[in-house]
Chains A and B, each alone.
Chain A
Amino acid sequence: MTKSDIKGFSNRLKSMLKVDARRMFKSPLVYIMFGICLLVPVLILVMTSFMGTTTTVDPATGAEQTMEGFKNVWQIIGSVGNGGMAMDLTTMCNINLVFFAVAIFVCIFVSEDFRSGYAKNLFTVRSKRMEYVASKIIICFAASVIMLLLFFVGGMIGGAIAGLPFTMEGFNAGGIVCSMLAKMFVLLIFISIALTFACFSKQKLWLSILLVLGCGMLLFMTIPMMTPLNAGILHVVMCLAGGVLFSIGLAFVSKLILNKTSLV
């Protein structure tokens, strides 16, 4: 007998994880995403520090609009307090961009299974869809955490190049750690939403990206509130609970979609 024991959910999940891990790290996509996550914060910080503060005048109303650049390195990671619903440069162009990158990454990664036809091989030998969904969430979460950390590292490098101060005002190192942890768990929400849309759209990558960006826009504004720089353990726990609940709930929805719809 050449086959190992693939009975039982955990064994099947293990073999599915092996497939996904191999594919993910053989694919150039993941390295492109890693590169983007490392480079984007450097570019943002360096370019905005060169521009400085810009003021524009609305010709119709004569009102002045000031776009302030980054004054502190940590602004690329988050903002202090509840963050509110501010729509300035520092709250829009920070680490939270990773959430969109992750959503798009998940859509491409899942859609590739269907576009390449590999789904035929996968689902012919696997009647249970849950291991597919669970494996995708786990492996995409692992890649997303790396992307988040790379953005963090890129932010630090960019800050150093741009000569921005590393001073912490209103928060401390523990707050940054909690903020990063909270962001990691919020990633689970984005991953599971993207996975559900990707399972629904299958070969239609454009549809899954459209759906996930639309949905992501709605959730994007809540991220600064959930993961401020002065976050505490409560933020982490709440984000963990939210992330886990979302991923379990949406995993069942994705499984249902795969069970009830055609896979080719």
Chain B
Amino acid sequence: MSHYFSNRETFKEIILIPVIATFLAISLGLLLLIFSGSSSEIALKALIALFLGSFGSLSAISETFTAATPLILAALGIAIGFRAGLFNIGAEGQIILGGMAAVIIGFSFHLPFVFHIIFVLLAGALFGAFYAFISGWLKAVTGAHEVITTIMLNLIAYRLLDFFLRISWIQKEGRNDPISKSILETAELPRIFYVLDPNLRVHTGFLIAIIAVLVVYWLIFHTTIGYEFRAVGKNLEASRYGGINPALTIIIAMSSAGLLAGLAGASQIAGILGRATPGFSAGIGFDAIAVALLGRAHPIGVLFAGILFGALIAGGREMQVSADVSLDLITVIQALIIIFIAAPILIQKLFPWIFK
């Protein structure tokens, strides 16, 4: 995996391949639509709706950024893992743990406005980090493969969530189904464009995600620990000879990944949901893997890939409303993007004149 992400990625690798992959995937998706019996007029309508629903108005942009926020945060964590040679499938579980911690802090403490939010986000990040730490520690100490342990921990997280939501001091009063109490107003991340229109949902979590992009960029490329991540990811044995402690590095990389995923969970809770339900993680942890791959595990790439995926989600909604095309087409497009990204050689073969 890690050899895709060399330090000297060329412009072509970072920018061109993802752009071409996206373009190809959308075109193929629309072709699929036509082959499955829709008229080309509907396909065109779908394409326009996809664009208008994602960038066509302030509220569309707001929806795009809202959907992108948790994807960017969790994908940054996965990108750190890729850099250190770790394939972290556990973002979903880490999001759940982070979100759960955020909910509990959010409804049970009475604190002033800004402090409460900081406390909520910190709790989310710490719980996410702790959950990923388990996988990192298992890998470092016992050699257990992180793909296996993170998948297993995801399943445990789902059941933990079901269990927690039925505990009486967490469960919402008067309800039998698993749903948590709502967080207090002081724990909510404020909406960015509140003054303009209170219905624009994009919240300050998006700004946090952008700051996280810069911090992770600095961490990976301008700090010793970032260098160690990359060294271990490239060649674990060589890094050991170079005086790096790979076990410790793996634990730190995994924990940072979990910290970011936990933050994603907390920002979902504090930014848009306000409470936890069994499905609140909504598969974001898995979509984030795709975002990290599309972003070539580069923080800036992840930012744009996250916004693109957010746009597909927001645009897909408009596509179903106005062109009556099923949202499943978006899943197909996302999957096609990943296929093209996972096979960069394919794209270079398809468009040799661009890469020569």
Do A and B form a real pair? no
